A = this chain, B = another copy of it.
Amino acid sequence: PIASDSARRRGSTGRPWGNTNTQGEEARVESKHGMNGISHRGRVLTLDSMNPNVKRVEYAVRGPIVQRAVQIEKELKEGVKKPFTEVIKANIGDAHAMGQKPITFFRQVLALCSYPALLEDSKFPEDAKKRAQRILEACGGHSIGAYSTSQGIECIRQDVARYIEKRDGGIPSNPDNIYLSTGASDAIVTILKLLVCGEGRDRTGVMISIPQYPLYSAALADLGAVQINYYLDEDNCWSLNITELRRALNAAREHCNPRVLCIINPGNPTGQVQSRQCIEDVIRFAKEEHLFLMADEVYQDNVYAEGCQFHSFKKVLFEMGPEYSNTVEMASFHSTSKCYMGECGFRGGYMEVINLDPEVKAQLIKLVSVRLCPPVPGQALLDLVVNPPQPDEPSYFYLLFSLQERTAVLSTLAEKARLTEQIFNTVPGITCNPVQGAMYTFPGITLPQKAIDKAKELGLVPDMFYCMRLLEEDGICLVPGSGFGQREGTYHFRMTILPPTDKLKVVLQKIREFHLRFTQEFS
């Protein structure tokens, strides 16, 4: 489409018309040969005339490399010969897609909720039935097909609050501060939407880590907020450093109004687990600098490294005393998609807000009401995640089995985390920090200058070129580091550690061989 190619070159103008290749109506086109007499108005909605903020959105985790991976899968199905027989999608933290099995108890309860006639079936354990009955009783018409309240089903919010209290050693949690959501992404975008305003130098600035999970940069582009990058310290296991936070903040104050600090702990894509001290420093910094804290804690159960432990921002905040716990505004996010259950497809999640202005809370409830409610099956699943089978429930042996499933998943992940670090660090030109938590590794890769030049020649960023070659040659789909952000002149990729151990070993070996081959080719 020539016209729209030229439109793209002109970039976004916000002009409310376009001149793309629409056929079949009167046309009025300025061609490169001048007016050609055919008059038409083209499409209403074109690249030229669409929302420029949407154009600025990028989301690497499902970007062009993944689209190419899907295409290659189709080609394989159609019998096209390749140097490999399957595409391994290590681009996304999707446990079930990697063969992990769902927790039996959770799915039994969901089946009972979906088709309550099964409540009469003796094959289902009594505990599962009790849970299903409790959830159904909290639903309109006792059906998960009814809308829930927009904030989420009340008894599930109570269970979430109890879960948080238990996690945080008794620090109280109020169900009124819990908002169920469509995955964590939904809640993160909602809070950002409340916070972003102002024009020009008054525009809200939001501090995000680099590397970051690209939901953040995408949401900020969409909202037209100013993205403030603070860099994690790769040489110190991707740790967060207050000096760097302060540098980034001071620089940003020149051109925007920084109001928000986003933290991902355990880190995505970087896999680090923050120390208690670091969290305390961050909270102190947020208070001093008058920043709203957003704590993305969806990997709170995914901690593997010796000596590492998850500390929730809320717990640390409250342990710092009323001077902090009564003043620092915060939202913490959690999800059913990660941890040991990995139930991504259900889109369950919640956030807890702390010290949120009561008037803003009313606005938040109004805002979430517009979308009616989070998916009820996801809410039901979340209820089971925060309130898993307890020892005092009647069918305890069965529950033990469920808990064994959970433990097995987590210990296997810990093993894979170690394996990944070990093997990558045997490859000259790959440097891999320990995967302390979450489910990704983000190793640095050294690329020869000739490869960088070749990439530029092809119009690709160098690590995209690297990942595309890996995909074409070995059928392994990774995400280039540039999709998450990295220091100028450094290159990385993100890989999930979720593939089954045997397959992961093959993947690591193949990447090793590819890297050596690639390096040699461009030396």
Contact = CB atoms under 8 A, between A and B. Distances in A.
A327 B24 contact: yes
Contacts of A323: 24-25
A46 B17 CA distance: 38
How many monomers of this protein are in the complex?
A: 2
A290 B46 CA distance: 13
A371 to B, nearest CB: 6
A372 B50 CA distance: 22
A194 B363 contact: no
Contacts of A102: 143, 145
Contacts of A18: 357
A107 interface: yes
Nearest to A97: B140
A44 B257 contact: no
Interface in A182-209: 182-183, 185-186, 193-199, 202, 204
A100 interface: yes
A368 to B, nearest CB: 9
Given A202-B14, A219-B370, A344-B145, A329 B193 contact: no
Interface range for A = 35 or more
Interface in A206-237: 214-215, 218-219, 222
29 contacts: A1-B358, A1-B359, A4-B357, A18-B357, A22-B326, A44-B259, A44-B260, A44-B291, A45-B292, A45-B329, A47-B357, A50-B197, A51-B193, A54-B194, A58-B366, A59-B370, A96-B143, A97-B141, A97-B143, A102-B145, A107-B114, A111-B114, A111-B115, A114-B114, A114-B377, A139-B345, A143-B345, A148-B345, A375-B377
Given A63-B366, A144-B345, A375-B375, 15 more contacts: A1-B359, A20-B359, A44-B195, A44-B290, A45-B194, A45-B329, A50-B363, A59-B369, A92-B147, A104-B117, A114-B377, A147-B345, A182-B182, A185-B370, A347-B374
Interface of A: 1, 4, 8, 14-18, 20, 22-25, 41, 43-47, 49-55, 57-59, 61-63, 70, 92, 94-102, 104, 107-108, 110-112, 114-115, 117-118, 121, 123, 139-141, 143-150, 182-183, 185-186, 193-199, 202, 204, 214-215, 218-219, 222, 257, 259-260, 287, 290-292, 322-323, 326-327, 329, 341-347, 355-360, 363, 366-367, 369-378
